[in-house]
Amino acid sequence: MSWGAPQMLWFLLLIPAVLLLWFLKIRRTEKIVASTILWRRALQDERVRSPFQRLLKNLVLLLQLIAVLLAVLALAAPESGSQRFTSRLNLILVDTSASMNSVEADGRTRIELARERVDEIIDEIAGERGMVVRFSSRVEPMTSVTSDLELLRKAVQGLSAGSGVSHINDALELALSIAKQDSVVPMMDSDSISEEGEEVLPPQIDARIYVVSDGALPHWSGDSFPIPVLLHSIGDASANSGIVALAARREFSEEGDLRVVVEIRNTGDEMISGLLNLRLDGNPVAEAVQKDLEGGGRWTRSFALQGGGKHQIEVHWNPDETDALPDDNSAWLIASQPRSIRVARVGKKNFLLDDALSVLPSVVVESISLAEVDPDTAADEFDVMVWDREIPDQLPPGVGHLVIGARPLQFWPDEIEMVSQPVLVAWQKDDPVLRFSQLNAIDGTVVETYPFPLRPGVSAMAECREGALLARFNLGDVRGIAVAFDVLASPWPLTPSFPFFVEAALRDLARVSSGIESGIRSGDLIEIFAGAGVSRAVLTDPSGEQEVEIPVLPEGVLRTSAGDQLGIHTMRWRKGKDPDSEWIQQLIPVNLLSPEESSIEPKPSIGGITTVPERDQEGFWGDARSELWPWFLATALFLMMLEWVVFHRR
């Protein structure tokens, strides 16, 4: 027998109190007698002979003591007994990833089998508490913690598999968090406190986790797992082949030719034959390729597509025999020409900067004076504004800014001390803007600079001891990159890294991609920078049947998660409040492309976690704990009633 709340055993100190009260509370009837001489001698004689005899033979006191003892023990929540009538928490994690759509030999999908298995688990945990959590690319609790197991059954009936990958780690972390919140912290005693005064006794968690999955789970990356995990492996099928990778890149040609690469993998043990089809905007662009794949084999195939422009590319793998998982037999991507970047060039004459801007492809530069800048329309007319040694007090919002040799007053209103030939101490080589730039040219060579002090909204890209030489600033709608010196006062513009820096900065500030949308996975985040002025945005699924309104975030950011349907989703948005204004759209391919999900063979355990095989579960758990406190309390109450009867009958 164990104790759910052993700290309550302190109440055993009530027993001496009861003894004291008993001696104090005895209600004595007075009786007149001829003499107390003989009684005094009898009492003295009895005390000498047996001090405890009186106590033991006093039924009322004994009953009181036993009742108090039982009540205190009930408070301490003793636990023992059978599996029923316990309050253990059972967290049932159901895998609804793409692999659960695999079809078994009997024609049923794994998610159907999983629903049946969860029903059986719910039968097993009768009298306990439970919670159902589904997991794929997202983790979603289907119920709260409840002892109403019918709620669990209803939640399970509505479960279906999606097209995402299994994020078991997130599900386990959620389950662990819930179990810890449900745990009982044991009473702390002096021996369990370390010298630093920290509690060393771990919380007592009375919970277990059921994982109902086909076992295609990634390795557990957390700490040692404190809760027993019972893995219910679903399914037997292993024969599957599918597309696990799809990529495209533009060739270095003026026409912008495309090269598409596809990888097919046979995750089963038997050889599989199939046809690979490539379609461009719905039309086949080449002969279908027949391929035989050995068990566990992989095959990479590339296709060359001529001409630029915007295209939908579809790849379909058609096995000769029906494989278990159809979801990984198709993949999509979008190839489009990157749009031009509209740049406003403001400031003094700088031929080195102008030369760098002129050689950049897809960049349209318009030189304007500071007086010609209209802050209200700048965001609509330009993607990036380049300020060279001239800058207004307030930078226009909604547009990117590349500031050279000037100080944005919104971020650095105070004068900055001049530094000569500063030594470069660090630069962020992983920053997309600096990834292809070498900054050795500005190390100790800048004649005169005013390094930016760091403050909220500012991050350094390249630093000297006195401050940032290159800095990103972002506050509200105003964002940009600032160079703390006149590039003409350094040898930097004379090196190749300068035009790379300018191009990367312009693309970064203009938020223009390379034009290849290789797709995202189901459940991943869709993020589109639609620009200022977006009034409405809608996401349409691949079938075109379902449209979802997407909230517009500041600066026209559209953010949502990809749904469960694989294929090409369409994000459409409109600027301005005119209902007749033109829709702008972006195609978003959603693919499975997961070797883990395509490998559908059930696995017996989760990597990194000690699980309990189904056949050993009973032996592992033994008799589950049941709460004994109601029995203790009932007995205590019965004894109190008995004591009352005995007391008054006397």
Partner 1 sequence: MSEPGDAEEPLLDEDFLARCGRLALLSRKVVQGKLRGEKRSRRRGMSTEFADHRNYVAGDDLRHLDWNIYGRLEKLFIKLFEEEEERSVVLLLDASASMACGEPDKWRHARQVAAALGAIALASGDRVQLRVFDRELRPVMGSIRGTRSILKLVRILEELKVGTETALLPSIRAHAASAPPRAIQILISDLMDPAGIEDPLRQLSGARGESWLIHLLSRSEEHPEELGDLRLRDVEDQSFVDVSFTPTIIEAYHSILAEYREDVRKMCGRFQIQSVEVSTEVPFDRVVLEMLRQRGMLA
Task: Enumerate binding residues for partner 1 (CB under 8 A).
Answer: 26-43, 45-46, 49-50, 53-54, 57-58, 650
Task: Quote the CA–CA distance of 442 and 551 in Å, as a whole number.
Answer: 44
Closer of 50 and 377 to partner 1 (Cβ) = 50
The minimum distance between CB 59 and partner 1, in angstroms, equals 9
The minimum distance between CB 68 and partner 1, in angstroms, equals 20
Closer of 61 and 100 to partner 1 (Cβ) = 61
Query: CA nearest 408: which of 344, 355, 464, 453?
Result: 453
The minimum distance between CB 63 and partner 1, in angstroms, equals 15
Closer of 365 and 646 to partner 1 (Cβ) = 646
Q: Is 455 helix (H, G, I), strand (E, B) or coil?
A: coil
| C-alpha 196 chain-centroid distance | 34
The minimum distance between CB 183 and partner 1, in angstroms, equals 49
Query: CA nearest 600: which of 268, 136, 246, 108?
Result: 268
Closer of 557 and 642 to partner 1 (Cβ) = 642
The minimum distance between CB 643 and partner 1, in angstroms, equals 14
Task: Quote the CA–CA distance of 364 and 375 in Å, as a whole number.
Answer: 19
The minimum distance between CB 43 and partner 1, in angstroms, equals 7
Task: Quote the CA–CA distance of 484 and 392 in Å, as a whole number.
Answer: 16
In the DSSP assignment, the letter for residue 453 is P
In the DSSP assignment, the letter for residue 371 is G
Tokens, residue 472: 């990103």
The minimum distance between CB 27 and partner 1, in angstroms, equals 7
Q: Residue 131: beta bridge partners?
A: 91
Closer of 25 and 577 to partner 1 (Cβ) = 25
Closer of 214 and 643 to partner 1 (Cβ) = 643
Task: Quote the CA–CA distance of 603 and 593 in Å, as a whole number.
Answer: 20
Residues 6 or more apart from 54 whose CB is under 8 A from it? 46
The minimum distance between CB 49 and partner 1, in angstroms, equals 7
Single-letter amino acid code for the residue at 372: E
- Answer yes or no: are the C-beta atoms of 73 and 7 closer than 8 Å: no
Task: Quote the CA–CA distance of 400 and 508 in Å, as a whole number.
Answer: 9
Closer of 14 and 646 to partner 1 (Cβ) = 646
| C-alpha 482 chain-centroid distance | 34
The minimum distance between CB 644 and partner 1, in angstroms, equals 14
Closer of 27 and 577 to partner 1 (Cβ) = 27
Q: In what order do the strands lie in the sheet with 520-521?
A: 520-521, 583-591, 567-575, 534-540, 547-549
Task: Quote the CA–CA distance of 374 and 391 in Å, as a whole number.
Answer: 13
Q: Is 177 helix (H, G, I), strand (E, B) or coil?
A: helix
Closer of 39 and 644 to partner 1 (Cβ) = 39
The minimum distance between CB 40 and partner 1, in angstroms, equals 6
Neighbours of 59 (CB within 10 A): 13
Closer of 55 and 548 to partner 1 (Cβ) = 55
Detail the DSSP E strand segments found in 498-619.
Answer: 516-517, 520-521, 525-529, 534-540, 547-549, 552-553, 557-561, 567-575, 583-591, 611-612
The minimum distance between CB 647 and partner 1, in angstroms, equals 9
Closer of 36 and 221 to partner 1 (Cβ) = 36
Task: Quote the CA–CA distance of 166 and 597 in Å, as a whole number.
Answer: 8
The set of long-range contacts for 102-110, using a CB threshold of 8 Å and a minimum separation of 24, is: 102/214, 102/235, 102/237, 102/240, 102/324, 102/325, 102/600, 103/237, 103/322, 103/324, 103/325, 104/235, 104/236, 104/237, 104/324, 105/236, 105/237, 109/161, 110/161, 110/214, 110/234, 110/235
Closer of 30 and 415 to partner 1 (Cβ) = 30
